[in-house]
Amino acid sequence: MKIGILGTRGIPNAYGGFEQFAQYLALGLHQKGFDVYVYNSSLHPYRDKEWNGVHIIHCSDWEKMIGTAGQFVYDYNCFRDAAGRKFDILLQLGYTSSSIWHRWWPRDTVNIINMDGLEWRRDKYGPMTRKFLLRAEKWAARHADILVADSLSIQDYLQEKYQRSCVYIPYGAEMPQHYEKEQLSRWGLKEDGYFLLMARMEPENSIEMVIRGWLSSGSDKPLVLVGNPGNSFGLYLQKTYRKEKLQFIGAIYRQEVVNTLRHYSSLYFHGHSVGGTNPSLLEAMACRCAIVAHDNSFNRAILGKEALYFHSEQGVADLLQDLPDREMADEWKQLNAEKIRDQYTWGKIVERYQELFIESISGRKSELKSAG
């Protein structure tokens, strides 16, 4: 079976969640004998045509020249290339800049879209952009052969709004086998001696809310922020909050270092308020973090009672002034790690996609036979 994956900047991951997902899924499918192709932006640092047996297709990306509009050009170039490849499956990760090209989706291919989160809810977008994103969501839901949701809440939303079935398949995570404790000295950190927040520097990730709550609490423990601070919101945060114990340490892509920072943190803040099953949350659970999460249905569906929740600056401050005892925190860590082993390992996720692909191809063949 020939499978194409598009909608990301490419692999190996040098950016974020969808790229991480594409990397694990592509490699897992290749190891199961599938012929897998991943589309990479021409701006991606990896230049080879193959990565660990996965084919890499480099397509022109104009984002550096024309900004956000370049994403639409990149997706268009990917679809034009895919039209001649005769993929059995074309898996699109997200719909924001791809659904407008639905007329160019390969018609002899099963087009599957992972619908990601509720993009139109993001705080950074104005009214016109939100209106467009709602339209893009509608195009994707209407024209895809199969919809995939990474969250039960997203699945319910899509099925209710668009009156069509949607397959639930979450993201995955790996259980780390070891941690490099010596890495903490790079930032002057100590085991159980700091709070951690890891996210893209975007308003909907509650970063400013956590910073202000931490400041209000008067806690002596440093707050460490991991993520690229080079965008306008990140620069604003750095300029506005200049405190000795507030550390912006930038984006880190070496998984062993990221896992170490998570594992040895006193608390891990997960501020994502929009979207489905976030990969960074699952990875924090796998690293046995004590998690404090933004209070919304997406996060509660994953964490349940095994976390603390906040929805305001004061809520963060109150939590930091009245922390759970170590025995309770250790129990939460254990239960969340068991969830990863039971439900969210990458092996299980790859198997779910394998089953979906095989079923979808079988269904398409049956349709063609009936039509003939």
The rounded distance, in Å, linking the Cα atoms of 48 and 222 is 41
What's the average model confidence in pLDDT over 51-55?
98
Neighbours of 91 (CB within 10 A): 26
pLDDT score for 124: 67
Longest dimension (CA), the chain: 72
Structure token pair of residue 302: 């994953």
- Which pTM was predicted? 0.85
The rounded distance, in Å, linking the Cα atoms of 131 and 89 is 30
**Domain segments of the chain: what residues?**
2-172+346-371, 181-344
Amino acid letter for position 125? Y
pLDDT score for 365: 47
Using only C-alpha atoms, the chain has a radius of gyration, in whole angstroms, of 21
As a whole number of Å, the end-to-end CA separation of the chain is: 23
**Residue 111 pLDDT more than 80?**
yes
pLDDT score for 132: 87
**Residue 156 pLDDT more than 70?**
yes
Residue ranges of alpha helices (H) inside the chain are 17-31, 63-66, 69-82, 127-143, 152-162, 207-217, 232-240, 255-263, 279-286, 297-303, 313-321, 326-339, 346-371
Which among 68, 136, 45, 61 has a CA at the least distance from the CA of 98? Answer: 136
> Of 3.40.50.1820, 3.50.50.60, 3.90.400.10, 3.40.50.2000, which CATH number belongs to 181-344?
3.40.50.2000
The rounded distance, in Å, linking the Cα atoms of 269 and 315 is 13
Question: Which pLDDT band, with edges at 50, 70 and 90, does 192 fall under?
Answer: very high
Amino acid letter for position 372? G
The rounded distance, in Å, linking the Cα atoms of 293 and 279 is 14
**Which residues share a beta bridge with 244?**
none
Residues comprising the chain, all counted:
372
Please report which helix (H) or strand (E) contains residue 68, including its range. Answer: none
Spatial neighbors of 104 by CB under 8 A, at least 6 apart, are 76, 79, 80, 83
Mean pLDDT of the chain: 92
Is 352 exposed, middle or buried, given 0-12, 13-18 or 19+ CB atoms closer than 10 A?
Answer: middle
pLDDT score for 351: 97
Q: Which fold has domain 2-172+346-371?
A: Rossmann fold (3.40.50)
